[in-house]
Structure 1
Amino acid sequence: MTDDKQKAKEQILYLLKMQGATNATDLAEQLEVSPMAIRQHLQALRGEGLVDYSEQRRPIGRPVKLWQLTDRTLNLFPNTHADLMVEFLNSFEAVLGEAELEKVLAERSRRQIQGYRVQFATLEGENCANLRQSRLDRQVKRLAEIRTKEGYMAEAIAQTDGSWLFIENHCPINEAARTCRLLCRSELEVFKTLFGPTVTIERVEHIMEGDRRCAYQITPHIKSGGST
């Protein structure tokens, strides 16, 4: 029973991480358990300081409790050796200066782009139903898979206008990025270089600016008389 309760708590934390503020009824439906059981788990998690709620008023009826994660959950998700990276960045800049640090980050970006392109290249040889999708569609989905493996809990959501919303629900280099804002800037530049001049990429949500996640709008340039 203890293992079942722990598993349920972990599932709740995962859903709140991926979805943001959610009510108990929606969580219950997704986990296929009773709302009462979910509320008991949420109260237990609240007692541990891992979740809290805010009340959202409705036109009719009682306010609805929207549950969300607290800052104490940050260490529950991958952080890619945060302390070591922060110490390295501080030491590197102190010894060699900001200009040299920028060179190192530029090399990191180059290697990222190279690695992603290699994995994109495998899409060209896939003989499956995915080939009905556009090249951009397949690339965005593949990038979400890659970034999820890297700890970003990424997802790609197709928009009705043909664009994509690329979401990273977690930042495994969060502490390092707060120390060195160049890391965030380089992440955006990596995406822009990776997809090239045929798309526009804009960061529309940013953890560093107080949002719960980072999100990027990826919009293909529409060519007259044909598709991208």
Structure 2
Amino acid sequence: MHLIEARKSTKDRILELLKKEASMTVAHLTGQLNITHMAVRKHLNGLESDGFIQSQDFKQPMGRPLQIYTLTAKGESLFPKNYEGITLEFLQDIQAMYGENAVEVLFKKREERLTREYSVRLADKSNPEKIRELVSIQNEKGYMAAGVQVDEHTYELFEYNCPILAVANQHKEACRCETRMLRNALDTEDIQRVSCKTESDDHCKFRIKFK
């Protein structure tokens, strides 16, 4: 969902208003958007079902409770943040002070941490279940992932977004660590990175084979 465009959808405008105002009622949103009360509720229901917003009843001295809408953590994640830029600056500073080896140690620590995290969630699952769970994990982390079963033993993992692309463009070790982590977490050595966004491909793609 693109929030910064010349022409925004009604859902994008609702998300932006909630970001600016922190919380709003249906009546308040209706006045800001210049559409019907029913249309606003339809968009709100969709956004709430998708997990981008949440509602809470607020009791009034008289009359029915007011429904107050706010962004969820998932909704907040749609708005640009500069965490990646700050991370890249820190890595550059560490490299300048302690050398390239220190940066490689940091990536290795991250690889070990993610391997433990993924392994717990993928343990005791069949191969199709592992891929489904892996897709879920990657989507939680913002990779816009999808999985496809090619044959009985072969799967493909697609990642249409890379939350650490700026870092990976400067430090290819990030991509190598991710591939090793997937091999260890999925318990198969036969994983190939077929395409990569750091090489100007449209998406990252892994081919995964189980015995």
Q: Secondary structure, in 3 states, of the residue corresponding to 2:151?
A: coil
Structure 2's unaligned 5+ residue stretches are 1-6, 13-77
Alignment correspondent of 2:155: 164
Q: 1:114 to 1:179 in 2, by over 3 A?
A: same
1:144 corresponds to 2:119:
no
Alignment correspondent of 1:96: 98
Q: CA deviation at 1:9?
A: 9.1
Q: 1:181 to 1:78 in 2, by over 3 A?
A: farther
Alignment correspondent of 2:193: 203
2:119–2:186 Cα contact (<8 Å) kept: no
Q: CA deviation at 1:85?
A: 0.9
Q: CA deviation at 1:101?
A: 1.4
Q: 1:90 to 1:215 in 2, by over 3 A?
A: same
Alignment correspondent of 1:216: 206
2:194–2:205 Cα contact (<8 Å) kept: yes
Alignment correspondent of 2:169: 178
What does residue range 23-102 of structure 1 map to in structure 2 within 5 Å? 81-102=83-104
Query: Is the deviation greater in 102-111 or in 154-163?
Result: 154-163
Q: 1:206 to 1:216 in 2, by over 3 A?
A: same
Distance across 2 between alignment mates of 1:150 and 1:86: 18
Deviations 1:157-179 (A, max 9, x none): 11135311101010010111111
Distance across 2 between alignment mates of 1:190 and 1:80: 26
Structure 1's unaligned 5+ residue stretches are 11-75, 125-133, 222-228
Distance across 2 between alignment mates of 1:84 and 1:144: 27
Q: 1:109 to 1:171 in 2, by over 3 A?
A: same
Per the normalisation by structure 2, the TM-score is 0.60
Q: Secondary structure, in 3 states, of the residue corresponding to 1:202?
A: strand
1:78–1:172 Cα contact (<8 Å) kept: no
Q: Partner amino acid for 1:206?
A: C
Q: 1:206 to 1:84 in 2, by over 3 A?
A: same
Q: CA deviation at 1:8?
A: 7.4
Distance across 2 between alignment mates of 1:158 and 1:136: 10
Deviations 1:91-137 (A, max 9, x none): 1111111112111111110000101112224xx4xxxxxxxxx7111
For these two proteins, the number of residue pairs brought into alignment is 140
1:113–1:190 Cα contact (<8 Å) kept: yes
Q: Partner amino acid for 1:213?
A: H
Bigger relative contact order (CA 8 A; separation at least 6)? 1
Q: Partner amino acid for 2:195?
A: E
Q: Secondary structure, in 3 states, of the residue corresponding to 1:152?
A: coil
Q: Partner amino acid for 2:177?
A: S
Distance across 1 between alignment mates of 2:144 and 2:104: 27
Q: Percent identity?
A: 26
1:112 corresponds to 2:114:
yes
4+ runs of 1 displaced by more than 2 Å?
5-10, 76-80
Q: Secondary structure, in 3 states, of the residue corresponding to 1:6?
A: coil
Cα RMSD for the two superposed structures? 2.3
